[in-house]
């Protein structure tokens, strides 16, 4: 699948890893539907890109109707541009760490758990399922008769969740577990599914970490011993789009890190 001439949907596209994917897509001849709640950031991202290559849609991934409105807007835009949908990248996510029992033995709130899972898991599957209806109807291309790709975003926490990451690890572990069955479900349509599990990257989520914690995570990496840069994530996303043999798998992008229990 070529990026050029196609439209890719990116939730969380107004910052961090999602924004980097938007920029990479537009630099390589594709269009990007930028979905996010932050209208100011979204408008700035669109304005920074070549005219007509990106369009912003307000979207709350925890709200099915909000996603539906973004889908309808994207379909209308695609009809105007003539660049059919080629992929879906649900990159919206949150952390919100909390131990299941605090120092006094009190359980964390179920609302806090649901806040994380509603965005990271439910928001991912709801966005993907609604856009897939339209992706499955596009004209297949190439000798493989491919229609496109879903690139989900997990985390190394899916495999080595740290102390305080019960909610986050649960949500990202579920995304990892969905990858293969989703690829199997979509094979008949010529649609692939791949998940990227990043390690420590510079993003809005890590920007609020205490510096000591962030430096400790960097020190746990093998090489390079630094946080990943958003464009490095976006490079891999583009390679997933372009390589048809990448399917039904989870790719760690983490500098060799294996997360310790705590820093």
Give me the catalytic one of 131, 168, 189, 231.
168
H or E element, residue 188: none
* 168 is annotated as an active-site residue: yes
Q: How far apart are the first and last CA of the chain?
A: 41
Q: Which residues contact 133 (CB under 8 A, 6 or more apart)?
A: none
Q: Which residues contact 194 (CB under 8 A, 6 or more apart)?
A: 149, 150, 151, 152, 179, 183, 240, 246, 247, 248, 249, 250, 251
Q: Give SS3 for 107.
A: strand
* Spatial separation of the C-alpha atoms in residues 84 and 62, rounded to whole Å: 26
Residues belonging to the active site: 168
């Amino acid at each position: 699948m070529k990026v050029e001439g196609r439209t890719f949907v990116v939730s969380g596209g107004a910052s961090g890893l999602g924004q980097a994917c938007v920029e990479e897509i537009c630099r390589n001849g594709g269009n990007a539907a930028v979905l996010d709640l932050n209208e100011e950031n979204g408008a700035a991202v669109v304005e920074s890109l070549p005219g007509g290559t990106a369009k912003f849609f307000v979207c709350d991934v925890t709200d099915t109707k909000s996603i539906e409105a973004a889908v309808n807007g994207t379909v209308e835009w695609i009809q105007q541009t003539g660049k059919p949908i080629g992929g879906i990248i649900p990159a919206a996510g949150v952390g919100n760490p909390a131990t299941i029992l605090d120092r006094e033995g009190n359980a964390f709130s179920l609302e806090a758990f649901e806040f994380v899972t509603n965005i990271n898991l439910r928001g991912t599957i709801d966005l993907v399922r609604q856009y897939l209806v339209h992706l499955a109807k596009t004209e297949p291309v190439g000798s493989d008769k491919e229609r496109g790709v879903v690139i989900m975003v997990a985390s190394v926490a899916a495999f080595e969740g740290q102390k305080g990451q019960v909610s986050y690890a649960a949500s990202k572990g579920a995304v990892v577990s969905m990858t293969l069955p989703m690829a199997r479900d979509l094979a008949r349509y010529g649609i692939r599914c791949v998940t990227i599990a990043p390690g420590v990257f510079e993003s809005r989520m890590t920007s609020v970490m205490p510096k000591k914690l962030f430096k400790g995570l960097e020190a746990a990496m093998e090489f390079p011993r630094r946080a990943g840069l958003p464009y490095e994530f976006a490079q891999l996303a583009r390679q997933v789009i372009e390589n048809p043999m990448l399917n039904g798998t989870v790719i760690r992008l983490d500098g060799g890190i294996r997360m310790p229990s705590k820093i």
